Structure 1
Amino acid sequence: MTWAYSLDTFELVIIAVFAALYILYVVRLTRIKSRLNVPISKWLIKFTIRTLYFLMILGALLGPSFGDTTREIKSVGKDIFVCVDLSESMNAFDVQPSRLEKLKFELKNVVEAFSSDRIGLIMFSNEAFMQCPLTYDNNALNLFIQALNTSLVPSSGTDFGPPLKMALKKLTDEATSVTQQKSKIIILISDGEDFGEETDQIAEEIESSGIKLFTLGIGTERGSKIMTNRGYKRNNQGEEVVSKINTKSLRKLAADTGGKFFEINERQNDVERLINSINDIEGELRDAKQLDAKANKYFYFLIAALALMLIDALITVKVIKL
């Protein structure tokens, strides 16, 4: 038999109080016997019954477990790569406080929603860089998310090809079956048009591999100016650039791979829908273990205590005859 809890201060105080009261009870009966010459052996019946149900109640509080049982514990999870566009247009503030800051806030909600899954982070513009490999360490991942800024990558256009190619390679490095590939997910986040030439080819590879691809666009149709360290960004003619969301490439990419497109703008936030869509995907079985499991059998002790209390109430023991 094993116990879920040990004797702590509370249980020890109860035992001490019980013992003190019964010692006083025994002393009182001993004095009666010495003065009136009355046998006190019968009081032992009550004492024994009360001691037993007191111990039963105490045992129930300690959580007794007995009997050998085993239980299979399965570890199921997904692998998720998040690809974040860090081109300068992500500094636009048509989504407050800015597209990138809003995205960083929402990404932390995504990380929290999939705390038992492995999540990786790729940043890109026209090139892709691994910011964080697949990890279970959500605290480290949140630090990498918080550190995202547009100065981390070259700012010379947006190309969806490199981040998708990198995510695909990392997700297919391990030898996995087609069924397990379906638990692998890529989330591509951007606000602009794709200027890459290999995106269609990589999209076909993603679709044929069974990996799910979701795209998330952030920005508004009216757009906004882009803040830089030197003021608002200007084009070659010296005019201030206004960045507007371009969802055409993102929608096409999602459609070509059998995925879904989501959006964040001033009136709409699809992050919750994105989370629900990922939740609908069945995770892969990573590990299964047989563990010894013993159920808490406190109720047996309580039943015994109640039965003894009933007997105690029904039995009357005379200790003094007048």
Structure 2
Amino acid sequence: MLEILFGLLFFGLYIGYLLRVSRVAGFFGQRPHGVWIKFMLRIVYVALLIIAILGPSFGAMKKEIRTIGKDIYIAVDLSGSMDATDVQPSRLERAKNGMLRLISRFNSDRIGLIVFSSEAYIHSPLTYDQNALEIYLQTLRTGLMPHGGTNYSPVLELVSQKFGQSASPEADEQKARILVLISDGEDFGGKVKEWAARLNEQNIRVFALGVGTTEGSKIPAGNDFRKDRNGEVVITKLHPEALVQLAEATNGEYFEINEQVSEINRLISAINNIEGEMRESKTIDVTANKYVYPLALALLFILLDVLITVKLVRI
């Protein structure tokens, strides 16, 4: 639309110029034939410039398009212990920062979010939309889940079900499936060995990220700290044993975030080293942008316009 307006503006101004030259020539009793040569020349190269700006495309060619990626579920523990501040500003906030970095590095992969404590739910299905994932991440807080301890069984069962909904057995074998399990390791459910065996059968790799310290910390609760039934302040500690066991049993790895180190970069590198599946391979018709041809002709006519001189009025 802008190109058309530019052409109309040029045409209108040039018509005004021609009328003025015609009046001056008429005053001296002459006919300015030369001005029409310049007019036609300039009309031609302005039209060619507009065509070049519009980007003409022709000459179809075949091109093969391949998309390669992984399916990644990020499961984050939202039990109350994730509010502990042994990792500043809190375990959950540090985990969210790590997840943002993780998502930004895998823009060609489908990523989904799962939240869990004693239960597990899909917070975001598998998607390529990084902006949507970031919005979902910002809403994460421990209050989203029912009160209770951490249980890995519901989240592992949910992941097994979601990854099991494939189109064909052949797709199951080729698909790169990854679960990033983020927790402080306080598993009160058990049955890790049984679920590890099942995930291993489905070619699902678990990369575990432990958040917290073995020294532990109090859990903020309003203006005080969480207490047990006896009125004693609860101290929550990182228990990596179950996470390590689960990762090793599924050909994955265990990483950690504590007050001294953050192994997010190592986690990203480990996932990068896994080959993704070829999701789609198809041939499409592609037309090339041939703007250079009208642009070259326009430059040639501009050069002629500069070199050719005409006398409009002889005095």
Map of 1:1-322 to 2, 5 A cutoff? Answer: 7-32=3-28, 34-35=29-30, 40-115=32-107, 117-136=109-128, 141-142=133-134, 144-145=136-137, 146-150=139-143, 152-156=145-149, 158-176=150-168, 177-182=171-176, 184-228=177-221, 231-235=224-228, 237-288=230-281, 290-317=283-310
Alignment identity in percent?
A: 40
Distance 2:230 2:35 in 1: 107
Runs of 4 or more, structure 1, over 6 Å off, are none
Give 3-state SS (helix, strand or coil) of 1:239's partner.
coil
**Where does structure 2 lack aligned partners over 5 or more consecutive residues?**
none
| Alpha-carbon distance change, 126 to 8 in structure 1, aligned in 2, over 3 angstroms | same
Give 3-state SS (helix, strand or coil) of 1:258's partner.
coil
Contact kept, 8 Å, 1:90 with 1:99, in 2: the verdict is yes
Q: Which moved more, 1:209-218 or 1:235-244?
A: 235-244
Whichever residue aligns with residue 119 of structure 1, its letter is I
Whichever residue aligns with residue 211 of structure 1, its letter is I
Q: When the two structures are aligned, how many residues end up with a matched partner?
A: 312
| Alpha-carbon distance change, 23 to 65 in structure 1, aligned in 2, over 3 angstroms | farther
Deviation at 1:308, TM superposition (A): 1.9
Whichever residue aligns with residue 9 of structure 2, its letter is V
Deviation at 1:187, TM superposition (A): 0.8
Contact kept, 8 Å, 2:42 with 2:302, in 1: the verdict is yes
Contact kept, 8 Å, 2:18 with 2:35, in 1: the verdict is no
Distance 1:66 1:25 in 2: 41
Contact kept, 8 Å, 2:200 with 2:249, in 1: the verdict is yes
Give 3-state SS (helix, strand or coil) of 1:262's partner.
strand
Normalised by the length of structure 1, the TM-score is: 0.80
Contact kept, 8 Å, 1:92 with 1:225, in 2: the verdict is yes
Contact kept, 8 Å, 2:91 with 2:211, in 1: the verdict is yes
Whichever residue aligns with residue 60 of structure 1, its letter is A
Contact kept, 8 Å, 2:7 with 2:47, in 1: the verdict is no
Deviation at 1:87, TM superposition (A): 2.6
Summarize deviations over 1:16-46 as a string: whole Å, max 9, x none: 33333344334444544x25xxx65455433
Deviation at 1:114, TM superposition (A): 4.0
Give 3-state SS (helix, strand or coil) of 1:7's partner.
helix
Contact kept, 8 Å, 2:119 with 2:155, in 1: the verdict is yes
Contact kept, 8 Å, 2:218 with 2:225, in 1: the verdict is yes
Deviation at 1:133, TM superposition (A): 3.5
Contact kept, 8 Å, 2:152 with 2:190, in 1: the verdict is no
Whichever residue aligns with residue 302 of structure 1, its letter is L
Give 3-state SS (helix, strand or coil) of 2:40's partner.
helix
Deviation at 1:73, TM superposition (A): 4.1
Distance 1:273 1:194 in 2: 24
Distance 1:151 1:302 in 2: 60
